[in-house]
Amino acid sequence: MAIKNIIIVGGGTAGWMAAAALSRLKNNNLVDITLVESEAIGTVGVGEATIPPFVNFNELLEIPEHEMLAAVQGSFKLGIQFVNWGQVGDSYIHPFGAYGYSMGGISFHQVWHRLRQEGDRRPLQVFNVETMAAYFGRFSRTQDYTRNGARDDLPPVNYAYHINATAYAAFLRKYAEARGVVRQEGKIVDAKLDPESGDVISVQLDSGQVLEGDLFVDCSGFRGLLIEQALETGYTEWTHWLPCNRAVALPCNRDDGSPPPPFTKATAHPAGWQWQVPLQHRNGNGHVYCDSFMEADEATDILVQNMAGKPTADPNHLRFVTGHRKKFWNRNVVALGLAAGFMEPLESTSIHLINTGVDKLISMLSLDGITDAQRDTFNRLTEREYARIRDFLILHYKATERTDSEFWNYCRTMDVPDTLTQKIELFKANGQIFREEDELFTETSWAAVMMGQRIPMIGHNAIADTLHLAKTKAELDEMEKSIRFAVDSMPSHEQFLAQYCPAKEAA
């Protein structure tokens, strides 16, 4: 059956990202697109940190970066600082860019390890521009610090954003509505299925209005109004590997007047961890924890005691189960965002999974109708993507030496998927990291977390020993100088924001 009407169920970040991307189909009036949301139903809206592919999403929509960031009180993000994960007192940054560059056909950390065995004591971090800029609170885009005849041998800057997710959804709403998407206010109270095919054919609002559709995009959050409540798709749970199942979120002012740092901060606590996401005028904060090891009141107290200022709202308590639907595209319903699954926000992948879900939907969508091949391919690719992100998140919990709480004892000793065990063992043996096809996280990502959380790299690739020692050391000296020059050339993050994208209003 031809697709003429697309119904998006739910707004928020997922719904309006889908609407904005699909609005391109309105150019030639190929379909009608309706988004249904209710002002009475709040959105989770705590995922305010993104990763670099999100920059590409906005570029695809031809959204001016500075306009978007000004509208959402946004700031820039060079990586994530992890505190207290390996041991209490530890700190490292997982940067968005690579350490150095490939030398002799092997990864830079292999060469660095060889030189370290020869007595070079420089930490790996000094060979990464994002890490060094983050430590010094500086930021600039590549095109800004290489302009006006400056050196062209400087490393590129890879970045993402911190955004007010609620404001971003509102920004995309204006974008989508201007391009023909119709917003329908109302709460969905029923869904009607075709008795023969089992497809969803319509949804009914609390006003009694019925909306018919050919393709439904479920962005209704944890409830999964269509994908679960109507179609009973089922859920694959990963709580035994990712035990955190609660969160409390709370924005605050930066009462000490400190500037927004260009990185997200994730601080481990006795039964979970706390995020700090700096916007231009406030911080987003949250404490992710496991209720088998900590009560909600204690989790809230820990959060409040470790924030940069006084809360500006009441605590928002969330319950979740880490995992995903057994099918992401079931019959004529595609689930996105929290309706599809939940990967806790440790590596800021929530918005990314919306992004890639939208990308896959658009690339596979045929307005002539829906085929089994489309559904099966969408589900296979998405399930694989979730599993690879899952392993990377599990690594943060498994790779710890903490013995100070029952929670960390459980994480340190738990069994993990064979795919993760193999990655850890390969790295221990000679620092080898194999990326599988289009896996999201890079060699740098895996190396940063493994080394940052004390997984020992016993040996290195034998090719590193064939490189001329003095020439290699001289090359690393130049690399370090280039990175220092790049960082010294950057303004402070606060100065860059004030000049490039000052927020239109305080968050």
Active site residue 77: yes
**Residue 314 near residue 327, CB atoms below 8 Å:** no
Give the rounded distance of the alpha carbon of 193 from its chain centre.
Answer: 34
Assigned token pair, 192: 């009607």
Integer CA distances (angstroms), 68 to 12, 168, 338, 471, in order? 16, 8, 23, 46
From the list 284, 341, 388, the residue with the least C-alpha distance to 14 is 341
Q: Phi, psi at residue 218, to the nearest 5°?
A: -90, 110
- Nearest CA-CA partner of 416 in 378, 445, 448, 455: 455
To which H or E segment does residue 248 belong?
Answer: strand 246-249
**Secondary structure class of 103 (helix, strand, coil):** strand
Q: Tokens 């969508």 identify what position?
A: 365
Q: Note whether 338 and 70 are within 8 A (CB).
A: no
Of 402, 397, 503, whose CA–CA distance to 161 is shortest? Answer: 503
Residue with tokens 């990963």: 238
d(CA 203, CA 211): 5
**Residues in the chain, overall count:** 507
H helices of 347-468, in order, are 350-364, 372-398, 406-413, 418-430, 443-452
For the chain, the C-alpha Rg in angstroms (whole number) is: 23
Q: How many CA atoms lie within 13 A of 90 on its CB side?
A: 21
- Options 4, 26, 77, 327, the catalytic residue: 77
Cβ proximity of 285 and 250 under 8 Å: yes
Return the number of other C-beta atoms located less than 10 Å from residue 369's C-beta: 12
Torsion, CA 237, CA 241, CA 243, CA 248, rounded to 10? -80
Across the chain, how many H-helices and E-strands are there?
Answer: 15, 21
Region of residue 22 (left: phi > 0; alpha: psi -120 to 50; beta: else): alpha
| Residues catalogued as catalytic | 77
